[in-house]
Structure 1
Amino acid sequence: MSKPVVAIVGRPNVGKSTLFNVLAGEMISIVKDTPGVTRDRIYADVSWLDQDFTLIDTGGIEPESSDIILSQMREQAQIAIDTADVIIFITDVRQGLVDADSKVADMLRRARKPVILAVNKVDNFDKFMPDVYEFYNLGIGDPNPVSASSRLGIGDLLDAVVSYFPEKTEEEEEDERPRVAIVGKPNVGKSSIINKLLGENRVIVSDIAGTTRDAIDTEIVHDGREYVFIDTAGLRRKSKIKEELERYSIIRTVTAVERADVVLMVIDAVEGVTEQDAKIAGIAHERGKGVIIVVNKWDAIEKNDKTMREYEGKIRNVLSYMPYAEIMYISAKTGQRIHKLFEMIDMVIENQSLRIATGVLNEIMTEAVAMQQPPSDKGKRLKLYYITQVSVKPPTFVIFVNDKELMHFSYTRYLENKIREAFGFRGTSLKFFIRERKEKEK
C-alpha cells in the first residue's frame, strides 16, 4: 500500500514553509543528509494518529511582481493537482482574501481533488474569526483557522487532511504484483524501455482506472507473472523556468518511487552519470527501495575490453552511498539485454523480502565482533548484545547495544557488509536501528 501524498499550495509569504516545517516536525531542518544526496527540502514523511503520508511543498521561486506570482501559483497548483491525493491551500488572514487566491481556488475547485483551506496567522481565534469567515467566499469549503508559527489549530487541520485518505481496501492489501518505477532525467529513454518491454510481451496497455496520479501505470505480463510499471514520463509540462521543471520532475519522482517496490534508475550511456541522477537515485535510497541502475543507449558507446569496468567505476563513484545497487547495460533501441530486466527485478524483489532467522543473524554478528573489535571511547567499549530482523521491504534490523553513542556509523556499515557477504541482499538497501539496553536489563 503506497502512502497518500499531500501538497501545500499558496502565495508567497503566507507561511507555506513554516507550515511545512511544523507538520514535518523539527526533523526536516536538521535532517542528516545522506552523503551524496543534496537536499532541496521538498518532501517529508509525516505521521498523524495512525496515518502516514508524504508531504510536498510545491513552493520554490518567490517571484516579484503580482502577475508572475499568479502564473507561478497556477504552476504550483497544477503540480499539486497532478501529484497529490489531498491539497492544503494556505491563505493569510492578515492580508485577507486577494485576487490571486480566488483564481487559484477556481483551478483547485475544477480539479475535483479534496482541498483543505487553511487560513494562517490566526494567533487569536476570538479576534480573527470574523476575518476567517470571509474565506468562505472562495467556495472551496470550510476555512480552517491555524497559526503555523504558534502551532494553533494544526491538529484539526491534520484531522481534516487524513479524513480524505482512502480506506485501505482488501483489494489493495492483496495486490501482490511487483511495482516497478522507471525514473531518471527527461530524455534518457524511460518510455522507450516500457514500449520495448510491452512490444516483447504484447500486452494491451491499460491505464489502471482510479489512479489519481498522472504517472501512467502499465501492466506487463512476462513468463506468466504480472508486473505494474509506473512511468513518470507521462507529462511534459512546458515551463519557462528550468528550476521549476527540475523541482517538478523531482516531485513526480517522489510520488512514483513512493508507490514502487523496485526502482529502475535510467541513465543515458552517452551522457554519463550526472548530479541530477544522484539526486533522483537518492530518493529511492532514502525510501529504502530496491534499485537497479539501467544504463540505456549502450549500443551508442564505442567499446573496448575495459569500457564496462571503467563505466561502472564512474557510476559507483557518483552514487557512492548505494553500493548495493545493481547495474545493467541495455539498449531500448536494439533490445539488447532488455529481457534480462525481469530476472533482475525478480531477484531484487526477492532480496527486498528476505527474512533471516534471528539465530543465524546473531552467529554472524558474534563472528564479526570476534574478527574486528567494536570501538571504545574513554575506556568504555561498545558491547553488542543481540540483533534481530524486524521487517522487510527494505530488510530492517535492530541491534541492541550497551551504549548507542559508541556505535559508530562505520561499525554499522561493517556489520552490514558481513550480513551482505552471507546473504547477498543485492539491489536493496538495509536499514539498521540501534537500541540501548543497560547492563542490568540484560
Structure 2
Amino acid sequence: MSFTVAIIGRPNVGKSTLFNRLVGKKLALVDDTPGVTRDRREGDARIGSLKFRVIDTAGLEEAFDDSLEGRMRQQTERALEEADVALMLYDARLGVTPMDSHFADWIRKSSVPVILCANKCEGKDAHAELHDAYSLGLGDPVAVSAEHGEGMGELFDLLLPYEREQEEDIPAKDRPLQLAIVGRPNAGKSTLVNKIIGEDRLLTGPEAGVTRDAISVEWEHEGQKIKLVDTAGIRRRARVQKKLEKLSVADSLRVIKMAEVVVLVIDADVSFEKQDLTIAAHVINEGRALVVAVNKWDIVKDRNAMLQHIRDKLQVSLPQVRGVPVVTMSALTGRGLEKLIPQVLRVYELWNKRISTAQLNRWLEGMLERHPPPMVKGRRLKVRYMTQVKSRPPTFSLFMSSRGELPEAYIRYLINGLREDFDMPAVPIRISPRTGKNPYAKD
C-alpha cells in the first residue's frame, strides 16, 4: 500500500462503518453500542483507483492510566504514529460535542495531517449544521455518510496528494511514467496508442466515440517503463447529454488527475478549437505536464500558418505555462511519431525537477533587486527566503516576514523568472506565499 490512513474519533461516530466501507468488507463489528471496537484493526482500502492501508481505532476516551480505556487510547496513539494522514470523524447529526473539541485540541498537537469528516450526512439537515465543525480548528469538514457511501469522491480528492507524496520517494526509473492520451472525439487517440506500441491493441474506427472506457497499456521505451492510458473523447459539457457519455468523460478527467504527463491530441483537419484549450487548461490546473500532438499533419496544406496559429492560441490562452511542446505527426502512418516520446520524457524530467535552496535564494536576491515587492498599506512587503517544498509539479514556498497579501502579478513575475532562468518550460509552477521565521537565518 502506498500510504496509511488512521480513522480516529470519540466512540460511536461511525469509525468502523467507514473502515468497512473503505475495505469493501464487513471486517469490523458495527453496533449502536459505544465502545465495540477496542483493538486496532488494519485492512487494505480502496476508493476508486486509490489504494492505501487503513487503521480502525477504538473510540478516544479521557483515560491516561492502565485501565482498559487507557490501553485502548494507547493503541489509538500508536495508530496515529504509523499514519501518514488521519481522518477524524464526528457525528454531524449530534453536532460538535465537548469531547470532539477536546480531542481536536489533542490531535492538532500531532504532526500528522488531519482531514475532518462529518459523518452521517445522508440528510440535508446534517449538511446545514456543518458550520459548527469550524470551531474544531481542523479546516473544512468533508460531508460523508459511511453507511451509504456518500462523500467518497471528495475523500478521494483529499487523500490523492498523499499517494503522490509517497510516489516521490520511489526513484523515477523504478516506476512507470503515467502517460494519458486525451482529446476531443475522433482526434486519433486510440490510433496513436496502437502505433506507439506497434500493435492493434485498441479498437479504432472513423466513428466518433469508439472508446468509452479508459484503457491502460504497459509499454517500455529505451528502458523507461511507460503506462499509456487511452481515454474517451471529451466534448463540451453542453453537448454531453447521455448518461454513458457523462460517465466516459468523468473517467477521462479522472485519468488526467492520476497522470504525470498528458498528451493532448488535436485533429489538424478541424484546427485548434476552444474545447482543445479547455482540456489543456484542465491539464495545467491539475498540475500535470502537457505535450500537444497535432495529428493528421499529412493532410495540412499550409503547415506554417497552422503551426503558428496553434502556438499563438497556446500563448494567449495558457500564459501560466510557456513553451508547451507542439509535435506534428500522423498517427495513421507513423510519420513524425519519433519526436513525441522524447518530448514526453523531457517534460517529465522537468516536472520532477528540484532546485536547491541555496540556488533559489541567490536567484531570489537578484529578482528582488530588479523589482522589489510592492507597497501594501504604506509598507513594503519583505520577502525573506524561498525553498522548493515538492516536485511533480515544482512547488515553492515564499516566506515573508511581514503580513500582507502578495499581489498575483508579483507571483507571476517570480514564476516567469523561474521558468526562464531554470529552464522549466511546459510544466506548471506553483508558489505559495507564507509568513514565518527563516530557519536558514543565523541567530
TM-score (normalised: structure 2)? 0.58
Q: Distance in 2 between matches of 1:394 and 1:383?
A: 26
**Is residue 186 of structure 2 the alignment partner of residue 177 of structure 1?**
no
**Is residue 424 of structure 2 the alignment partner of residue 425 of structure 1?**
yes
1:433 deviation in Å? Answer: 0.8
Check whether the contact 1:267–1:293 (CA below 8 A) recurs between aligned residues: yes
User: Aligned letter for 2:122?
Assistant: V
Residue of structure 2 in register with 1:262 after alignment: 261
Assess, with a 3 A threshold, how the Cα gap between structure 1 residues 328 and 438 changes in structure 2: closer, same or farther: same
1:277 deviation in Å? Answer: 1.8
Check whether the contact 1:382–1:403 (CA below 8 A) recurs between aligned residues: yes
Residue of structure 2 in register with 1:231 after alignment: 230
Q: Distance in 1 between matches of 2:169 and 2:302?
A: 47
**Is residue 316 of structure 2 the alignment partner of residue 308 of structure 1?**
no
Check whether the contact 2:398–2:434 (CA below 8 A) recurs between aligned residues: yes
Assess, with a 3 A threshold, how the Cα gap between structure 1 residues 304 and 188 changes in structure 2: closer, same or farther: closer
1:291 deviation in Å? Answer: 0.8
Check whether the contact 2:232–2:252 (CA below 8 A) recurs between aligned residues: no
Check whether the contact 1:352–1:392 (CA below 8 A) recurs between aligned residues: yes
Q: Mapping of 1:130-169 within 5 angstroms?
A: 146-151=122-127, 157-158=145-146
Residue of structure 1 in register with 2:396 after alignment: 397
Q: Report Cα offsets for 1:141-185 as digits up to 9, x if no partner.
A: xx96733443379766259857999998x9998661101000111
User: Aligned letter for 2:197?
Assistant: L
Check whether the contact 1:389–1:398 (CA below 8 A) recurs between aligned residues: yes
Q: Distance in 2 between matches of 1:384 and 1:297?
A: 49
Q: Distance in 1 between matches of 2:306 and 2:219?
A: 32
Assess, with a 3 A threshold, how the Cα gap between structure 1 residues 341 and 156 changes in structure 2: closer, same or farther: closer
1:189 deviation in Å? Answer: 0.7
User: Aligned letter for 2:356?
Assistant: A
User: Aligned letter for 1:372?
Assistant: H
Matched positions, count: 302
Q: Distance in 2 between matches of 1:356 and 1:148?
A: 48
Q: Distance in 1 between matches of 2:370 and 2:283?
A: 33
1:412 deviation in Å? Answer: 0.8
Residue of structure 1 in register with 2:112 after alignment: none
Ranges in structure 1 where 5+ consecutive residues have no aligned partner: 4-47, 53-82, 87-121, 126-142, 206-212
1:327 deviation in Å? Answer: 1.8
**Is residue 325 of structure 2 the alignment partner of residue 326 of structure 1?**
yes
User: Aligned letter for 1:412?
Assistant: I
Q: Report Cα offsets for 1:237-267 as digits up to 9, x if no partner.
A: xx99647677444412221112211011111
Secondary structure of the 1:233 match is coil
Q: Distance in 1 between matches of 2:93 and 2:354?
A: 51
Assess, with a 3 A threshold, how the Cα gap between structure 1 residues 241 and 400 changes in structure 2: closer, same or farther: closer
Secondary structure of the 1:157 match is coil
Q: Distance in 2 between matches of 1:438 and 1:386?
A: 10
Assess, with a 3 A threshold, how the Cα gap between structure 1 residues 375 and 245 changes in structure 2: closer, same or farther: farther
Q: Distance in 2 between matches of 1:256 and 1:373?
A: 41
User: Aligned letter for 1:398?
Assistant: S
Assess, with a 3 A threshold, how the Cα gap between structure 1 residues 412 and 172 changes in structure 2: closer, same or farther: closer
User: Aligned letter for 1:303?
Assistant: D
Q: Distance in 1 between matches of 2:189 and 2:301?
A: 22
Residue of structure 2 in register with 1:290 after alignment: 289
1:310 deviation in Å? Answer: 3.3
User: Aligned letter for 1:338?
Assistant: L
Q: Report Cα offsets for 1:9-51 as digits up to 9, x if no partner.
A: xxxxxxxxxxxxxxxxxxxxxxxxxxxxxxxxxxxxxxx99xx
Moved more, 299-308 or 372-381: 299-308
Check whether the contact 2:291–2:325 (CA below 8 A) recurs between aligned residues: yes
User: Aligned letter for 1:269?
Assistant: A
User: Aligned letter for 2:400?
Assistant: V
Q: Distance in 1 between matches of 2:234 and 2:307?
A: 33
1:339 deviation in Å? Answer: 1.7
1:337 deviation in Å? Answer: 1.6
1:398 deviation in Å? Answer: 0.2
Residue of structure 2 in register with 1:198 after alignment: 197
Assess, with a 3 A threshold, how the Cα gap between structure 1 residues 173 and 437 changes in structure 2: closer, same or farther: closer
1:309 deviation in Å? Answer: 2.4
1:306 deviation in Å? Answer: 4.5
User: Aligned letter for 1:386?
Assistant: Y
Secondary structure of the 1:192 match is helix
User: Aligned letter for 2:145?
Assistant: L
Q: Distance in 1 between matches of 2:388 and 2:214?
A: 33
1:274 deviation in Å? Answer: 2.0
Check whether the contact 1:273–1:315 (CA below 8 A) recurs between aligned residues: no
**Is residue 257 of structure 2 the alignment partner of residue 281 of structure 1?**
no
Q: Distance in 2 between matches of 1:148 and 1:196?
A: 51
Moved more, 303-312 or 340-349: 303-312
Assess, with a 3 A threshold, how the Cα gap between structure 1 residues 375 and 2 changes in structure 2: closer, same or farther: farther
Assess, with a 3 A threshold, how the Cα gap between structure 1 residues 240 and 375 changes in structure 2: closer, same or farther: closer
Q: Distance in 1 between matches of 2:354 and 2:305?
A: 37
Q: Distance in 1 between matches of 2:377 and 2:412?
A: 22
Q: Distance in 1 between matches of 2:184 and 2:278?
A: 10
Check whether the contact 1:214–1:234 (CA below 8 A) recurs between aligned residues: no
Secondary structure of the 1:374 match is coil
1:188 deviation in Å? Answer: 0.7
Identical columns (%): 30
Ranges in structure 2 where 5+ consecutive residues have no aligned partner: 4-17, 23-46, 51-91, 96-118, 131-141, 203-211
Secondary structure of the 1:339 match is helix
Secondary structure of the 1:354 match is coil
Assess, with a 3 A threshold, how the Cα gap between structure 1 residues 159 and 324 changes in structure 2: closer, same or farther: farther
Check whether the contact 2:320–2:428 (CA below 8 A) recurs between aligned residues: no
Q: Mapping of 1:29-428 within 5 angstroms?
A: 84=48, 146-151=122-127, 157-158=145-146, 176-199=175-198, 214-233=213-232, 242=241, 247-303=246-302, 305-403=304-402, 405-428=404-427
1:231 deviation in Å? Answer: 0.8
User: Aligned letter for 1:358?
Assistant: T
Q: Distance in 1 between matches of 2:291 and 2:356?
A: 26
Q: Distance in 1 between matches of 2:196 and 2:94?
A: 59
Choose between structure 1 and 2 for higher RCO, CA contacts under 8 A separated by at least 6 residues: 1
